[in-house]
Structure 1
Amino acid sequence: MGSLPTEMLEHQPLLRAHCYRMLGHPQDADDAVQDTYVRAVRGVAGFEGRSSARTWLVRIATRVCLDALAARKRRRMPTEGPPGEPEGPFVPTDPDEWVAPFPDAWLEPSLPVDEQVELRHRVDLALVTALQRLPARQRAALLLAEVFDWSAAEVADTLGSSVASVNSALQRARARLGGTVPGRAEVDPIVVARYREAFVRHDVDALVGLLTDDVTFDMPPLPLWLQGPERVGRFLRSGPGAHCKGSKVVPLGDAGYAQYRQGGQVPWALVFFETRDGRVSAIHHFLDVGTLFPLFGLPDRLDEESPMSSAAERGLSS
C-alpha cells in the first residue's frame, strides 16, 4: 500500500463501510479492503484520473466483494428460519453463515457529526441484513446507485453489464426491499439503558416488562431464535440465560453492549437492540467473541483496574 497516493489511503473508512454492506461481516469487509488496496497498487500506474480516486477505489472494492460472494453463500440472521423454544437445542453452526455488526471505531472520527450519523445509519445491522437477501449483483447495483448516487451507466461500467441490465436489477432489488434501501432500525437509548441495568441486576421481571409482544431474541452462530416475552423470560429464568447472572457489560454506543460472564472474566457476547414505542422489539446476541471482540477493541476479560471495567461502571450509572 506504500506506493499509493495518501489521498487513496484516506478512503479506508468509506471502503470498509461499502464492503461491509456488500458482505455482511466486519472481518470480511476488512479483508476485502486489504484486497482492494493490493489490486489498486497493481493497477495504479494505469489510473488516468478520468474519475476521482474515490470512485476508482469503490469500483475495485465492488469487484473484490463480488468475487468473494461468488465463492460462498450469503450471510443471514437466524430469524429467517422458524422460531424455537427456550429449552433448545443450542447447537452452533459455522460463524461464516451469519451477519455481524459493524464496529463504531471504524467510522471516520474526522468527519462532521452529521456525516458520521449518516454513515452509521448506512451500516445499520437491520439494513445490512436486508441487503444480504438480494442477489450479489442486485445488491451491488442498488448500493452504487443509492448510496453513491451513481448513474446506471457508471454502475454498468463497474459491473461489466448493460444499462438495461442495471435498470432491471435496480427495479427488482427495490421491489424486493419495498422501494428503496431500508432506513435505520429504531434504537431508543433510554430503553436500551433500562434493559442493560435490569440485565446486570438479573431482574428478569423487569427485562420481560420492557419487551414488545412480538420481540425477537437471536444468538448467532446458534440458529435457534425465540419470539415473545414468555419464551425470552423462560430462557433467562431457567434456561441457559440463567447463567448470565453476575455478568458485567461495557456499553457500545447507544445501541448495545459487550457482555462478560462470571464477573467480567469470560467474554460472552456483543448485544445489540432494536426498539419500538418505548420497548425492546429485537435483541441480537453475537457469540463469535473470538472474532468480534478484537474487531471492537474489547479485552479478553475485565480486570478491576482496566479502563473497560471503569467504562462498565460508568455505563451502569448513566
Structure 2
Amino acid sequence: MATRASTRRRTVRTDWRAVLRRALRRSSELTGAVVLFAAMVFLALALVSYHQTDPSASTAAGGEVLNWMGPAGAWMSERVLFLFGPVSTLLLPLLYVFARKLWRLVEEEDGLSEHSDQRWWAPIGMLVFAMALICTVLSLVFTGPGGSLPASMGGISGLLGAKAITSLAGLLPEAAQGWAILAAALVCLVAGSVIAGRVFAFDWATLLTLPKALGRHRLALPDRSRPEADRRAAVDPDEQDGPPLPRAPLPAGPARKAPEIVDPTSPAKPARLVGAKRQKDLFEQFELPSLDLLADPPPNTGQKIDKLSLERNARLLETVLD
C-alpha cells in the first residue's frame, strides 16, 4: 500500500511539472508572437516617418524628433536604412511570418491546426544574404548620393559588395571591366531575387488568416451555383430559428417510363454439376497369386531332432551366457 501511494504521489507531481512546463511554453510563445507583431508595426511606422534631421547614430542633431515613434524609432529606422537601405522593408513580412508561426505553435498544441515542421533560423540567414545581394546591385546602379538616406540606396552592405565587385573587375583589362561589372550585377540581382523568393515561399493563405483563438468565425455565404431546393435541404432544421417555413413544391418533370419486365418462355436450364474424377483402382496392375498357394505342404524329409540334442544345446547356451 505504501508503495502504491508513493507511486501515485510521484505521478501527480510529474503531471504538475508537465502542466507548468506547458503553461510556461505557451505563455512564452504567445508573448513572443505579440512582441514580433508589435516590432513589425513599430518598424513600419518608423521607416515611413524617417527624417534625416532626427538624432541618430549618424547625425548629431539635437532638435525636435519628427519620427512618429520617437527617439527609439529614429534610431531604429536610421540603423536599418544604414545597413540595407530601402531593401530593409523586406524585414517587415519576415517579422509577420515569424509572429504568425509562434501563434500557430499554440494552435497546434491545442489541436486547432495541423502540425507543421518548419525551420526558423535558416530563413533569416538566407534573407540577409539576399538583401545584401540586392543592395549591391542598387549601389552599382545608383552611384551618386542617396538623398536623405544615411548610406545611399544600397546601404553599407551594398557599398561593401559594390566595392568588392569593382576591385575584382579592376584585375581584368580595361575593356572588359564594364562587362564584368554588368555580369556580376545581373548575377547578384537574379540570385538575390531567387533566394528572397524561396524565403517568402510560404503558405500565405494560411499565414494571412486570423488566429482561431480570437473566436471570429466567417459566415458561410450561400452558393448561388446550386438550386434553391438544394440550398434549403443543406440547412439543418434544428439550426433554424422560429417555426419552419413552408417549402415550395418542386417543379414537375417529365413522367418516367415504367421499367419493362421480360418473362422468359423457356425454363431455366439446371446447372450441370461437374463431379470429381473417379480414383483409379489401387490394385489395377497387381496380379493375384495362384491357387497352388493353398495346397498342402510336402512331407518333412529332414533330420529329426531328438531330446538329447536339445538338452545339449541348452547347456551350451547356459555356459555361454554365464
1 or 2 for the larger relative contact order (CA 8 Å, sep ≥6)?
1
Of the two, which has the highest radius of gyration?
Answer: 2
* TM-score, structure 1 normalization: 0.22
More helix by share: 2
- Greater fraction strand: 1
Under a length normalisation based on structure 2, what TM-score does the superposition of the two structures give? 0.22
